[in-house]
Structure 1
């Protein structure tokens, strides 16, 4: 008996910046994944899009594309602009710009739309490791979650860090911010986007503590998680290679989206 064939996973990607380009490059040649559309703000600025992918600028254009998944990697504003439409147009909407979810009203609207549409809002772990363990541990009471983000001074340029510390004069690591995940992600949406991921996996945006560190000796973007609770203790560190075209982010952020896409169709989801 002939084996059953399955149509390729039909994916729309919102954004065509460094992360989206990296995701598409990593998926190049996959016969079971089809990039159906790329959502952008400006058509003239979108270059070298995948062959066969439609360029769209209006969220309403997602309807009728018979999508299986919409993936956002366009910045926090795009989550509000595209999110509810994406959840109605596809069974799942995966977001990279987790800092958008510091807006409680937006998060509630997205969850309500997902429930009404029988869709799912997916928050990949991004540049982090151990989020599965943190989420599992949160089934029992957690006492403390501390997430430290350590990056080279250059990665903090163009952010409020420039007003808080002399980045060009550092001789050692400096913690220039300590506060809640909500505040960190709101003030540093590109660099501390992942603060929302650790927060929503554990004890929430207001109880999760975030430290932001500029270290002239750091050769990578580093995340350290320290978790204590009824489950026990978790101590974890990951050092990520910066994304070649965007040092504020990590290659792992793109790899995490690739995993989320592949897991929608993989015989073994991992």
Structure 2
């Protein structure tokens, strides 16, 4: 990406504010084209709908506001020819909406981009998928308090003194549907590897960790690998890694994100129209 490329943001929560702060620290505030926030909310260079963000003419937009924000704004941005880095990648577990985004890309030329987020190792998974992967599992460990306010509260007793409680096991698609605010990484792992319906996911409440720990395990003809990523939680949101915002920003500044529909070997998007 050109050094002078401008960046738009969707969202001014924990991740959005971290990105804005990082731009200030590196002296690149001028990159910011606009921040899309809900009506009534304030932010630097605030706009309140996709039309306002499009009018600001960003070269690339970072979404960091949740699944509904993707649904509300990203199709219009793609149709306007603007590339969008998706933090809330789990929204692609909805096959119908993923197909709508694919149509929007075709109409306008903007691309859905998959960032590494807070998960190192996705590049190795993308490479291994070409050689041949038989199985992939992603396990997310978080301390009990980080699961409060999620469906985990109905699945287990978060005050139980047990060191670890596994409360979900299933596919990445199922994880993203059941835990839309907590399973975005599992969908990213699925897209990078063997697809979101073949990727297995475990969600664990663990008193052995103080911050989010993600573990990617894969086996195949390429061999075997395991990546452990202990990323410190954001001070303002224990459900989010502090590294996420920096990864999103570096993808916008330096490139390195993957066009979702070009991860053809995962077949996660190209086959969505045939999903029952």
TM-score w.r.t. structure 2 length?
Answer: 0.87
Give the equivalent residue in structure 2 for 1:268. Answer: none
Say whether residues 1:40 and 2:31 are aligned partners.
Answer: no
Instruction: Please say which structure displays the higher CA radius of gyration.
Output: 1
| Partner residue in 2 for 1:17 | 13
Whether the 8 Å CA contact 2:232–2:242 is kept in 1: the answer is yes
Q: CA RMSD in A?
A: 1.8
Q: Does 2:235 align with 1:235?
A: no
Cα–Cα, structure 1 residues 156 and 32, in superposed 2: closer, same or farther, change >3 Å? closer
Matched, 1:168 2:169: no
In 2, the alpha carbon distance for the partners of 1:97 and 1:31 equals 25
2:22 to 20, 23, 26: 26
The structure carrying a bigger helix percent of its residues is 2
The residue correspondences of 1:11-160 to structure 2 (distance < 5 A) are: 11-28=7-24, 29-31=26-28, 33-43=30-40, 45-46=41-42, 49-50=43-44, 53=45, 55-160=46-151
Structure 1 gap ranges (5+) = 1-5, 266-270
**Relative contact order (C-alpha < 8 Å, sep 6+): which is higher?**
2
Partner in structure 2 of residue 198 of structure 1? 189
Deviation of the 1:258 alpha carbon: 1.4
Unaligned segments of structure 2, at least 5 residues: 257-276
- 8 Å CA contact 1:8–1:31 kept in 2: the answer is no
Contact 1:174/1:215 (CA < 8 Å) preserved in 2? yes
Structure 1 residue 88: Cα displacement: 3.0
Structure 2: distance between partners of 1:149 and 1:33: 37
